[in-house]
Amino acid sequence: MAIVFIGTPAFAVPALQRVVAAGYEVSAVFTQPDRPAGRGRMSTAPVVKAAAEELGLPVYQPASLKDGAVIDQIRAIAPELIVGVAYGQLIVPQVLAIPPKGVLNVHPSLLPRWRGASPVAAAIVAGDEETGVTIMLMDEGLDSGAILSQTVRAVSDTDTSGSLTEVLAEKGADLLADTLPRWLAGEIDPQPQDESRATVCRRLRKADGLIDWTQTATEIWRKVRAYNPWPGAHSSLDGAAVRFWRVWPLEVESDEPPGTVVAAPDGLPAGAESAAFAVQTGHGALAVLEAQRAGRRSLGSAELLRGMPDLIGRRFSVPE
């Protein structure tokens, strides 16, 4: 039985590897074209491309699946099933109609919550207590297809988008390996999504990482975790950019205005013991554990404070 796999980032790799390991015939892998990346803007291949080539699979990188020639190419492969994992484009109806067993999608959220391009970050920013992975039967909408299976994972206080995405990639691959044979055997009855519970998240932008110190310490803490590794939660100190990688919210109050750097209070809670300073917010303070000045490596707050002995009392910019 021929399967076509469609995916692009690292999140898709475990699913591809698991499908191949299970003995399914992956006839082709479609992924995004190589694109410039990094400071040097060097042409960089999608992670899925390298993984597919290592597995000896044919790889195709069309600019768009809307291209008639690409649609004809997929039709000629005659896949029984298409598996899509974070491809990065909507799959057009002409492609959805090709495989008799449909197009399955592995999505890192508990649909219908967090349809869209940044579900892991959205769950962290919202303070969701749990998230997970959904396998759905794709339709023409945005992550709106009928659900075949789900797996749940609690969101911990130390999860970042990067770390949580890695965990969900493995859980999604496990779920796919369990779901595929049951779906192909006709043992799963697809369940429509409850539209009344649907929420949508957009693609992240660099500007999303700008910290508004008038927000609460808890809100900023969630954003620091959600925007790690990209776009990175950042602020400006006398015109110089600083990125915050690890922080912890503190229920302490001060007369200092939001954005002011203060000494770390006594009796720091578990998880924040290494903080040497904090930043006042609209409610509470944010203990800083790890941060990075522009053009320099990331440092623990004690080391950062040694290099900036006048830091206490200075104030980070507050967006207008």
In which residue ranges of the chain is pLDDT below 70? none
Q: Check whether residue 210 and residue 195 sit in a common domain.
A: no
Q: Check whether residue 105 and residue 87 sit in a common domain.
A: yes
What's the pLDDT at 320? 80
Q: Check whether residue 181 and residue 271 sit in a common domain.
A: no
**Statement: the pTM of the whole predicted model exceeds 0.85:** yes
pLDDT tens figures, 115-164: 999 999 999 999 999 999 999 999 999 999 999 999 999 999 999 999 99
Structural domain including 187 reads 2-201
317 found inside a domain: no
Nearest CA-CA partner of 171 in 88, 108, 265, 251: 108
The span from the CA of 305 to the CA of 276, in Å, is 7
The span from the CA of 257 to the CA of 237, in Å, is 14
Q: Check whether residue 136 and residue 218 sit in a common domain.
A: no
CA 310 to chain CA centroid, nearest Å? 36
What's the pLDDT at 121? 99
Count of structural domains within the chain? 2
Q: Check whether residue 132 and residue 281 sit in a common domain.
A: no
Q: How far is CA 127 from CA 50, 122, 220, 223, 306, in A?
A: 35, 9, 11, 10, 33
Strand order across the 103-107 sheet: 59-60, 25-30, 2-7, 81-85, 103-107, 130-137, 146-154
CATH number at residue 83: 3.40.50.170
Q: Check whether residue 171 and residue 153 sit in a common domain.
A: yes
Considering 177, 201, 225, which residue would you say is the last residue of a domain? 201
Q: Check whether residue 169 and residue 250 sit in a common domain.
A: no
pLDDT tens figures, 283-302: 999 999 999 999 999 999 99
Q: Check whether residue 177 and residue 210 sit in a common domain.
A: no
Considering 176, 201, 226, which residue would you say is the last residue of a domain? 201
**Rounded (5°) CA angle 309-312-316:** 115
Q: Check whether residue 221 and residue 155 sit in a common domain.
A: no
What's the pLDDT at 212? 98
Q: Is 242 exposed, middle or buried (0-12, 13-18, 19+ CB in 10 A)?
A: buried
Give the tokens for residue 59: 């790889």
What's the pLDDT at 162? 99
What's the pLDDT at 312? 97
Q: Is 173 exposed, middle or buried (0-12, 13-18, 19+ CB in 10 A)?
A: buried
Q: Is the dihedral of CA 205, 211, 214, 220 positive or negative?
A: positive
Q: Is the dihedral of CA 76, 82, 86, 88 positive or negative?
A: positive
Considering 170, 201, 232, which residue would you say is the last residue of a domain? 201
Q: Check whether residue 27 and residue 129 sit in a common domain.
A: yes
Q: Check whether residue 231 and residue 289 sit in a common domain.
A: yes
Pair type for strands 25-30 and 103-107: unpaired
319 found inside a domain: no
What's the pLDDT at 185? 98
Nearest CA-CA partner of 15 in 98, 91, 108: 108
Contact 224, 244 (CB under 8 A): yes
136 found inside a domain: yes
Work out the mean pLDDT of the chain and round it to a whole number: 97
The span from the CA of 78 to the CA of 61, in Å, is 18
